[in-house]
Structure 1
Amino acid sequence: MEGLLLGSVLSALSTGFGAIPILFFKKLTHRWRDLLLAFTAGVMVSASMFGLIPQALDVSDTLVVSIGVMMGVTVLSLMEKLIPHIDLERQQQVMSEKAFLIVAALLLHNIPEGLSVGVSYAHVNSELGAAVAIGIGLQNMPEGLLVALFLSHQAMSRWKAFVIATLTGVVEIIAALIGYGMTRYVEGLVPYGLSFAAGAMMFVVYKELIPESHGDGNERVATFSFIFGLLAMIILMDIFNG
C-alpha cells in the first residue's frame, strides 16, 4: 500500500512538475512539443506491450487479455466522444469560459490513468506498478505544461495556471486507490484490469500522441524520440524487475 500511495502521488504530481516551465516562459515550440509527445508515446507502448500485457497473460489467457484490451479501448473511445477534444495550440484566443471545459476534460481523462496505476500495483509483481506509475507520470508532464500554457492565455496569472494544472492530477490518486481496491480484493479481476490499462494507454498513443507528434514537420526527430522513450521504459522495467 505504501508503494501504491507513493507511486500514485508522484505520478499525479508530475502534471504540476511538467507545468513548472510556465513560471518562466509562455511559449513551447512545435519541435519540443512533438519530441515530448513522441517520447511519451514510446514510454506508454513499452509499458503496455512489455509490462501490462505479459503480466496479464501470466495469470490468464489470450481471451481474457483481448476482452480487457477492448474494454479499455472502448471506454476511452466513448470518453473522447463525450468530452470535446480541444486543440490547446489553437485555443489561445477563445473566451475564458473555455478554461473550465479544458480542466474538466483533463480531470476525466486522468481517471483511467489513475486506475492503470492502481491496477498495476495490485498485481503480484508489485514492481510493475512502479514502472507504470513512471510511464503515466512521464505522460502527465507535457500534458500539464500544455494545460498551464492554455490557462495562462485566459487572463490568468502564471502561478494560478500552475496551481490548477497541478491540482488536476489529484484525481489520479483517488482513481489509483479505487483500481487497487477493486483488483486486489475481487478475485480474477487483475488480468482484466491490467489489460484494460494496456488498451486505454494504447488508444491514447495511436489516437492522440503519435498523430499530434507528426503533424508539424518533425516526423523524423519525433520517431527517434519515440524509440528513445520505448527503450527508456524497457530499461526502467528491467531495473525494477531485476
Structure 2
Amino acid sequence: MMQGAFWGIIVSAMATGIGAIPVLFLKQVSTRMKDVLLGYASGIMIAATTFSLIPEALDSSNLFILSLGLLLGTFVLNVIESRTSGLDLESRKFNTKIDKKTLIIIIAITLHNLPEGLSVGVSYGSGQENLGGIIALAIGLQNAPEGFLVGLYLLNQKIPKLKALLIATLTGAVEIITAAIGYFLASYVHGLVPYGLSFAAGAMLFVIYKELIPDSQEGEEEQFPTYSFVLGLISMLFLIQHFG
C-alpha cells in the first residue's frame, strides 16, 4: 500500500516536468504559435479548474468554504503581482532574467500545486481502495499542461531549455512534500483539503483571466487562439470524463 502511494505521488508530481519536455524540441516560438499554445493551455486549465478542482472542493465542503478559498487565492495572487511590479528579477548568479509576468505564472503554479499534493496524499492515506490512484491520475493530467506552460514562458524569456525544464519540474516537485504530509497525517488534515483546492482554483482563475487569455490575444489573428482555447477545454473535458 505504502509503496503504491509512493509511486503514485512521485508520478503525479513529476507530471509537471513531463509536460514541459516538449520545450526541449521547440527551436523558436513564433507569435502566432505562442498565442495558439497559450489559448490551448488556457482552455485545458479552465476546464481542469472548473470541472475538477471546484467540484472536488464543493463535494467535500460547501459553497461558503469554496467561495472563501476562491477569493483568498485570487487575493493572494493579486497581492503578489502588485508587490513584484517594481522588482528587479535579474539573477547574475544564474545569468537569468525573468519578467514579472513569467514570475507570476511560476508562483501561481507552485502555490496551486501545494494543496493538490495534499489532496493526493490524503487520498492515499484515507485507506479507500483505488481512491489514491484516481486522484493522483487526475492531478497528474492537470499538471502536465501546467509544466508546458511554465516552460513556454521561460523559453520566451530566452532561458536555456534545460534550465526551463528544471524550473518547470520544480514547480510540480513541491507536491511531493505536501503529499507526504497528507499521507501520514490523513486523519488530521483531511478537513483542510477543500480549503486548499478552493485556494488553488482561485489562484489559477486569476492567472487564466489576468495573464494567459490576454497574452493569447496579443497577435493580430485572434481567431486562432480562440478556437485553440475551445479545443483545449474539450480535450480536458475528455480526459476528465474518461480518467477523472
TM-score by length of structure 2 reads: 0.79
Q: What is the aligned partner in structure 1 of residue 67 from structure 2?
A: 66
Kept in 1: contact 2:109–2:171 (CA 8 A)? yes
Q: What is the aligned partner in structure 2 of residue 102 from structure 1?
A: 98
Distance 1:223 1:142 in 2: 17
User: 2:19 aligned with 1:20, yes or no?
Assistant: no
Distance 1:204 1:7 in 2: 22
User: CA separation of 1:181/1:72 partners in 2, compared to 1, >3 Å: closer, same or farther?
Assistant: farther
Segments of 5+ residues of structure 2 without an aligned counterpart are 124-130
Please state how far the C-alpha of 1:139 moved relative to its aligned partner: 2.8
Q: What is the aligned partner in structure 2 of residue 121 from structure 1?
A: 120
Distance 2:34 2:119 in 1: 28
Distance 1:81 1:49 in 2: 26
User: 2:152 aligned with 1:145, yes or no?
Assistant: yes
Q: What is the aligned partner in structure 1 of residue 47 from structure 2?
A: 46
Pick aligned residue for 1:3 from 4, 8, 22: 8
Letter in 2 for 1:100: T
Please state how far the C-alpha of 1:107 moved relative to its aligned partner: 5.2
Distance 1:204 1:77 in 2: 9
Please state how far the C-alpha of 1:172 moved relative to its aligned partner: 2.5
Please state how far the C-alpha of 1:198 moved relative to its aligned partner: 0.9
Letter in 1 for 2:174: A
Please state how far the C-alpha of 1:37 moved relative to its aligned partner: 0.5
User: 2:179 aligned with 1:180, yes or no?
Assistant: yes
Distance 1:73 1:198 in 2: 9
Alignment root-mean-square deviation, CA: 2.8
Report the more deviating stretch, 98-107 or 230-239: 98-107
Kept in 1: contact 2:9–2:120 (CA 8 A)? yes
Once superposed, which parts of structure 1, at least 4 consecutive aligned residues long, lie more than 6 Å away? Answer: none
Pick aligned residue for 2:199 from 196, 200, 216: 196
Segments of 5+ residues of structure 1 without an aligned counterpart are 87-94, 153-160
Pick aligned residue for 2:220 from 210, 217, 232: 217
Q: Report % sequence identity.
A: 30
Report the more deviating stretch, 222-231 or 98-107: 98-107
